[in-house]
Structure 1
Amino acid sequence: MIQPLSYIHPDAKIAANVVVEPFSTIHKDVVIGEGTWIGSNVTIMDGARIGKNCKIFPGAVISGEPQDLKFEGEVTTAEIGDNTTIRECVTINRGTKDRYKTVIGKNCLIQAYSHIAHDCIIGDHCIFSNSSTLAGHITVGDYVVLAGLVAVHQFCKIGSHAFVTGGTLVRKDVPPYIKAAREPIAYAGINSVGLRRRGYTPEQITEIQNIYRVLFVQNRNLSKALDLVEAEFKATEIRDEILTFVRNSNRGVVKGFNQGKTGV
Structure 2
Amino acid sequence: MALIHPSAIVDPKAQLDSTVEIGAYSIVGADVKIGARTVIGPHVVIEGHTTIGEDNKFFQFSSIGAAPQDKKWAGEPTRLEVGDRNTVREFCTFNLGTAQDAGVTHLGNDNWISAYVHLAHDCQVGSNTIFSNNAQLAGHVIVGDWAILSGYAGVHQFCKIGAHAFIGMYTSLTQDVPPFVLVSGNPAGARGVNIEGIKRRGFTRAQIDAIRAAYKLVYRSGLTLEEAKTALAEAEAAGGEESAPQLRVFREFLGTASRGIVR
Instruction: Answer yes or no: same fold by TM over 0.5.
Output: yes
One-letter amino acid matched to 1:154: Q
Give ranges in structure 1 of 5+ residues lacking alignment: 256-264
- Residue 169 of structure 1 is matched in structure 2 by 172
- Residue 262 of structure 1 is matched in structure 2 by none
SS at match of 2:4: coil
Question: Which residue, 239, 255, 260 being the options, matches 1:252?
Answer: 260
Distance 2:186 2:36 in 1: 43
Question: Which residue, 142, 153, 160 being the options, matches 1:157?
Answer: 160
Distance 1:148 1:215 in 2: 27
Distance 1:124 1:86 in 2: 13
- Residue 238 of structure 1 is matched in structure 2 by 246
TM-aligned CA deviation for residue 237 of structure 1: 1.7
SS at match of 1:207: helix
TM-aligned CA deviation for residue 219 of structure 1: 2.3
Question: Which residue, 27, 31, 34 being the options, matches 2:36?
Answer: 34
- Residue 6 of structure 1 is matched in structure 2 by 8
One-letter amino acid matched to 1:155: F
- Residue 260 of structure 1 is matched in structure 2 by none
Q: Where do residues 59-208 of structure 1 align in structure 2 (5 Å cutoff)? A: 59-97=61-99, 98-208=101-211
SS at match of 1:95: coil
Does the 8 Å contact 2:125/2:143 carry over to 1?
yes
TM-aligned CA deviation for residue 220 of structure 1: 2.1
Distance 1:205 1:169 in 2: 27
Question: Which residue, 17, 20, 23 being the options, matches 1:18?
Answer: 20
CA deviation profile, 1:52-87 (whole Å, cap 9, x unmatched): 000001000000000000101110111111000110
Deviates more, 1:222-231 or 1:4-13: 222-231
Deviates more, 1:8-17 or 1:236-245: 236-245
- Residue 60 of structure 2 is matched in structure 1 by 58
One-letter amino acid matched to 1:125: N
Deviates more, 1:178-187 or 1:18-27: 178-187
Q: Is 1:212 matched with 2:220? A: no
Identity, in percent, stands at: 38
Does the 8 Å contact 2:141/2:157 carry over to 1?
yes
Give ranges in structure 2 of 5+ residues lacking alignment: none
Greater than 3 Å deviation, 4+ residue runs:
none
How many residues align? The count is 255
TM-aligned CA deviation for residue 218 of structure 1: 2.3
One-letter amino acid matched to 1:70: K
Distance 1:176 1:198 in 2: 14
SS at match of 1:74: coil
One-letter amino acid matched to 1:110: I
Q: What RMSD in Å do the two structures reach over aligned CA positions?
A: 0.9
Distance 2:11 2:105 in 1: 22
TM-score with structure 1 setting the length: 0.95
